[in-house]
Chain A
Amino acid sequence: MSDIKERSPNQLMLFGIIGGLLGIYLTYLLPLAGEITGGKIEEVLNTIAPVAGALGAICAVMWGADAVRRVAKYGLGTGVPSIGQIAMGMGIIAAMFGLAIVQTNILAGPIVALVTASIIGFIIGWFAQNVIKMKIPVMIRCMTEIAASGTLIIIGFSAAVAGNFEFANIVELVFDNGVMLAVFWVGAVAMLHPFNACLGPDEKQKRLLYLAGSTGAITMAVIGIAAIMTLGASGVLTLVLGIVLWVIFYKKFWDEVYNDASCVVGTGLIPKMEA
């Protein structure tokens, strides 16, 4: 299948890390820029800032979905969902650690979380490969990537709900009201569903990435509903943009499915009586 052009793992990793971090940091930097300009622009920037977090998380979802694809291709024996859940398990531990440990140096938080997640992922991957002996050559690298993208997804969507990624703020607006559980579960499904749905002999990366975009976008819409509760106007923007992006990505996925199918026919209803 070498004639199909695929995005390389490194390309997607850069896309996920840079896109994810950029989105997450914009939630913090846009209000800062607004403060300098002041006036009407400040209001606008404050409203759109949290949306950037969710957009960053979508980049991380696409990266994570591709990493899941690469490792789950080997057959884990436990189904694809297990890897999405371990990703979020590692991600949430790293995210809480990274955001809390930096205390007042808020800006360092996401990067510390990313590094911590990579270390946890590397250790679990190493154990899976060398102690449990799973014999999957890409295990260590993919576990590291999956954990790192999991933490970016959690921080990104949390920032979209809380407005920024300050730990005290996230505890108040994301943990206390239980939105964290939605971030955890819907985020995990966004990451594991694309490969779980597309796997099979004719699986293609392009189709999977479009589906990942659409699951990420629908997660953004769900997060938008939560953000309406906490932030008001920004939440509406997240919800609407999430739905729009979902429609776009889903249409692209739909087109890919039609492209790859040999033909699409209507079979009609099953006849009621045996002929």
Chain B
Amino acid sequence: MVAIDPALLTNILLIGLSGTLICLAVHFIPVGGAPAAMAQATGIGTGTVELAAGSGLVGLITASYMYAYEPLADIPLVMAAGAMGSMVMLASTMFAGSLIYAYGVAVPFASAQVKKDPITGDRQDTYISKGTQGQGLPTICYVSGVVGAALGGAGGGLIYFVLMDLYKPYLALTSAFAVAGVFTMGVMYVNSVIPSYGVGGTIEGIHDPKFRRVVGKDVITSFFVSILCGLLAVLIAGGMSV
């Protein structure tokens, strides 16, 4: 077993924090679900988990690339690499989606949750088709999504960095990469599903009134669950040290 010392407690706390970051990130991403896929709601036309996983896993790849090929990489650098990968992935997803909404489905981008786009100030309500919750990805959704992806990628990078430091002493380097990566993936999935239950499947981004309503309880849940995951991660390292 592992003796309790401040460094381990810090690690547990950091894993808890990164899980919370991933959970927070999901709230920023404009997830439209099935209605958005039919251009009847604002957002990207797929589920929370798929988006969080898609952008989060790309973030994980870029973070691990930074960790493996830059010997001086410390926490901020790995987190930044993760954030960058996620942002690129989600931005290109939203861009491709926007092309289809604009030129394939032919809908004007509008949000039903706000009267004016907080960034551009453009009026929204006159452009919404009757009987829908808005369509496409207005500027605020796009920006909110990129911010969310940055948070998620940074969270994934952070947990990966902490786990690598934990497992490197006990495993061969390639095994440590694999074990840390898979564990990160597990934590990422748990923390992207919890907020998706909180928001009930769809959210438009930071300007959505739902954001303020649910973000608190989701973050609390995620924090406790991630702390538990962090505890298990530290104990796994203890189990390897035979």
Contacts and interface: CB of A to CB of B under 8 A. Distances in A.
Interface string A24-49: 00000000000000000000000000
B190 A77 contact: no
A88 to B, nearest CB: 7
B221 interface: yes
Given A92-B182, A120-B228, A175-B179, A97 B236 contact: yes
B225 interface: yes
B58 to A, nearest CB: 15
Contacts of A77: 197, 200-201
A8 interface: no
A76 B183 contact: no
A262 B47 CA distance: 33
Interface string B54-84: 0000000000000000000000000000000
Contacts of B50: 81
A167 B197 CA distance: 33
A240 B217 CA distance: 48
A132 B239 contact: no
A175 B218 CA distance: 31
Nearest to A120: B228
Interface string A209-227: 0000000000000000000
B194 interface: yes
Contacts of A93: 183, 186-187, 190, 229, 232-233
Given A78-B200, A93-B232, A132-B218, A83 B193 contact: yes
A220 B148 CA distance: 37
B182 A96 contact: yes
Contacts of B224: 123, 127
B170 to A, nearest CB: 9
Chain A interface main SS type: helix
B185 interface: yes
B49 interface: yes
A167 B175 contact: no
B52 to A, nearest CB: 10
Interface string A46-88: 0000000000000000000000000000001111011101101
Contacts of B183: 92-93, 96
B14 interface: no
Contacts of B221: 124, 127-128, 131-132
Given A132-B197, A132-B218, A92 B235 contact: no
B188 A89 contact: yes
Interface string B184-221: 01111110111011101100000000000010011011
B53 interface: yes
A90 interface: yes
B178 interface: yes
A83 B196 CA distance: 10
A102 B174 CA distance: 23
B175 A103 contact: no
5 contacts: A101-B235, A102-B239, A131-B220, A132-B194, A134-B197
Given A123-B228, A132-B214, 10 more contacts: A77-B201, A78-B201, A82-B47, A82-B197, A83-B193, A88-B189, A89-B187, A92-B182, A93-B232, A124-B194
